Structure 1
């Protein structure tokens, strides 16, 4: 018999085991997930989050989460994540979890829900379509095997223009002090992220929320490369994050440049420095994700040797017309 119930904090490890079994390429640790949920609870926007667990004979076999993202927030926009263990699919468990989440968002007056699945998941996307969802964007994982990366071919692209130098975030903390370094990093990241393709406009992140990255388990200050002017202004960045489950893998976060400094090769130069550093430290793979409409970045990653994986297809139900930036 299948039962579906609201999940409790004691269920988090079981739900995470299901998620990691379904999405092994994006596996998360319990520490990372607890940090993420604490960030939602403490955020001044008070984003909603609700989890459910599906059990068969008392065994956890499926999980669903309906939540709101503070970084692209609207009070009527929600995100749905749903996972069922492969051996328990086609028994109506996914549909039951979806129906439970759907009744919940209807009760809250949701006007928009974003959900998705890999293009290779033959059942999930048609199910979303039947429920009134439509495709709005695709995101490609891109994977670079560093054993085939030849840094010597990119020496010219690693040079920065006069008046700008490369430094890691760890270097900047040593030079400026921790608080000033975080402020400089924040100023660049805040502007650069505005133009990242996404399914809804970016929400402003206050500095007080941004510096909570200090306790982010994936943060390695030595893996964040910055372009710094003679006046200690950060004008470009390329972030590499520790992978939760694979010590031989790094994941690119944001690579971006402040608007006044674009088209000078800063982002590429920093990205290359991170790749060289990773190769020297024995990292096997670097992963990144790019939206289907970000043609310049997809083309650049193709040049660098990244290989595209099957796309994650993001689908939307409804629409919060008065979206707030």
Structure 2
């Protein structure tokens, strides 16, 4: 029998993150403090045990894509194909149903996980591609004329206004299948965890672009790009490239060896920019959705 429990203590949260790190070893794993900072009604993390062994974890919350719940079951590789994933999925869907949303969403990075989702009524709706960049000697960028780039460590007062100036447009223009809604509160922490590696592009005093690297406590040699976004009237003028190069220069100065990002399948412009800057392709993540309520076999 699988014992699925909602996380309550920091020790349980760490067990949840241990499964996360094992199942997705190439991805950034948040800290306990970061997970706690994002807690809100309807959001839940789960851990699952069988015969005393930690075997799986689960996550449920409102998706950033409007009208959708998001769930993520993760089963440790040594314990798969034993009904554990089904037990965790069942509990996640029960929790997602309480959010009273018409669609539930998840992601899968390997054929076995995609097959698992399809078996329970999910269908593929989109894909995201991983792009990675080894860090070498990275000179600081030369921004377009009249543009300066500063870090949030230098000017912390810029980060909240950057949401209104650039973030809202950036999220609205993501090449996704559904509308994305990210609140200012989610922006403040979700797109930044290190002010020194978070950058704003300015034209005079106007905020025209943002980019960040989300540094990793468990893998300090690498970092994940946050949202790179530029105001619509400034796109195609080299601002995004300068911001990306600023991130690469910071990574080199701080001893990182690799950075990575996830780019929507339909965002050809950003993928081309990353290719131009020397990024290579990695994993492909499949977006899966199903209508609520849960599939009858569960």
> TM-score, normalised to structure 2's length?
0.87
Conserved? CA contact 2:191–2:214, under 8 Å: no
> CA 1:198/1:36 → structure 2, altered by over 3 Å: closer, same or farther?
farther
Q: What do residues 129-177 of structure 1 show as CA deviations (whole Å, max 9, x unaligned)?
A: 1222111111122111113x665xxx8xx43333222222233x2xxxx
**Structure 2 unpaired stretches of 5+:** 293-298
Aligned-pair CA distance for 1:275 = 1.0
Correspondences of 1:287-298 after superposition (within 5 Å): 287-298=260-271
> Are residue 98 (structure 1) and residue 89 (structure 2) matched?
yes
> Are residue 261 (structure 1) and residue 234 (structure 2) matched?
yes
Correspondences of 1:50-65 after superposition (within 5 Å): 50-65=44-59
Aligned to 2:296: none
Aligned to 1:38: 37
> Are residue 112 (structure 1) and residue 103 (structure 2) matched?
yes
User: Aligned to 2:17, what secondary structure does the other structure show?
Assistant: helix
> Are residue 164 (structure 1) and residue 164 (structure 2) matched?
no
> CA 1:198/1:243 → structure 2, altered by over 3 Å: closer, same or farther?
farther
Aligned to 1:226: 200
> CA 1:306/1:188 → structure 2, altered by over 3 Å: closer, same or farther?
same
> CA 1:160/1:122 → structure 2, altered by over 3 Å: closer, same or farther?
closer
User: Aligned to 1:182, what secondary structure does the other structure show?
Assistant: helix
Q: Which has the higher helix share?
A: 1
> TM-score, normalised to structure 1's length?
0.80
Aligned-pair CA distance for 1:191 = 2.5
Correspondences of 1:4-15 after superposition (within 5 Å): 4-9=4-9, 10-15=11-16
User: Aligned to 2:38, what secondary structure does the other structure show?
Assistant: helix
User: Aligned to 1:98, what secondary structure does the other structure show?
Assistant: helix
> CA 1:12/1:281 → structure 2, altered by over 3 Å: closer, same or farther?
closer
> Are residue 283 (structure 1) and residue 283 (structure 2) matched?
no
Correspondences of 1:1-325 after superposition (within 5 Å): 1-9=1-9, 10-31=11-32, 34-41=33-40, 46=41, 48-69=42-63, 71-74=64-67, 77-106=68-97, 109-118=100-109, 121-147=110-136, 151=139, 158-171=141-154, 173=155, 178-179=156-157, 181-186=158-163, 187-203=165-181, 205-206=183-184, 209=185, 212-213=188-189, 219-230=193-204, 232-318=205-291
Mean Cα displacement is larger for which, 93-102 or 258-267? 93-102
- In our comparison, the structure showing a higher alpha carbon Rg is 1
Aligned-pair CA distance for 1:188 = 2.3
Mean Cα displacement is larger for which, 122-131 or 1-10? 1-10
In structure 1, C-alpha distance between the alignment counterparts of 2:123 and 2:207, rounded to whole Å? 39
The Cα RMSD (Å) is 2.6
> CA 1:39/1:99 → structure 2, altered by over 3 Å: closer, same or farther?
closer
**Structure 1 unpaired stretches of 5+:** 320-325
Conserved? CA contact 1:15–1:60, under 8 Å: no
Aligned-pair CA distance for 1:235 = 0.5
Aligned-pair CA distance for 1:29 = 4.4
In structure 2, C-alpha distance between the alignment counterparts of 1:249 and 1:204, rounded to whole Å? 25
Conserved? CA contact 2:16–2:45, under 8 Å: no
> CA 1:52/1:237 → structure 2, altered by over 3 Å: closer, same or farther?
closer
In structure 1, C-alpha distance between the alignment counterparts of 2:97 and 2:186, rounded to whole Å? 32
